[in-house]
Amino acid sequence: QVQLVESGGGLVQPGGSLRLSCAASGFTLDDYAIGWFRQAPGKEREGLSCISSSDLSTYYADSVKGRFTISRDNAKNTVYLQMNSLKPEDTAVYYCEAPRRRRCPVEDGRLHHYNMDYWGKGTLVTVSS
C-alpha cells in the first residue's frame, strides 16, 4: 500500500524557518518524482516544488523560489522541503505528492495536482507573530 506521510509543520514567526519531511512507504521512493503542494483555506491547491528521481532536476513556483529548497534522501525513503524566510501568506496545509513517473510533471510552467497519483494527509504550517 502506497503511503506518503508529511511531518514537520507547526507555528513559526515571520522570517523563521521550518523543514518538512515526507516519508514514503509501500514503494521505492527513487522510482518516483516527489512534489510539495499547499492549500490555504478558500484557495486552490498550489504546486510549490518538485524533484525528479531520474536526474534530480527541480522545479520551484515563483512564490517560493529562493526561499524553499527541496531535497531527497532515497536511502531513508524521505523527501524534505526546507522553508526559509517564511511569510504569513505561507500559512497553509502542506502536502507531498507523487506522480507515477520519474520526472516532475511540469505543465505550462506549473505543477498541477491533477498530474499526481499519490498524496498524504498534509501537515499544517502557520506563520504568525
pLDDT tens sequence across 81-120: 999 999 999 999 999 999 999 999 999 999 999 999 999 9
Confidence of residue 30 (pLDDT cuts 50, 70, 90): confident
Question: Would the pLDDT of 1 be above 90?
Answer: no
User: How many Cα atoms occupy the beta-carbon half-sphere of 20 within 13 Å?
Assistant: 32
Question: Would the pLDDT of 27 be above 90?
Answer: no
Look at residues 63, 91, 96, 83 and name the one whose alpha carbon lies nearest to residue 19: 83
Q: Which are the contacts of 52, defined by CB distance < 8 A and separation ≥ 6?
A: 33, 58, 102, 103, 104
Give the per-residue pLDDT at 88: 97
Is the Cβ–Cβ distance between 68 and 59 less than 8 Å?
Answer: no
What percent of the chain is predicted at pLDDT more than 70?
100
Q: Which residue type does 42 have?
A: G
Residue count of the chain, please give it. 129
CA separation for the pair 97, 14 (Å, rounded): 26
What percent of the chain is predicted at pLDDT more than 90?
88
Q: Is the dihedral of CA 121, 110, 11, 69 positive or negative?
A: positive
Q: Cα torsion at 109, 112, 115, 118 (round to 10°)?
A: 130
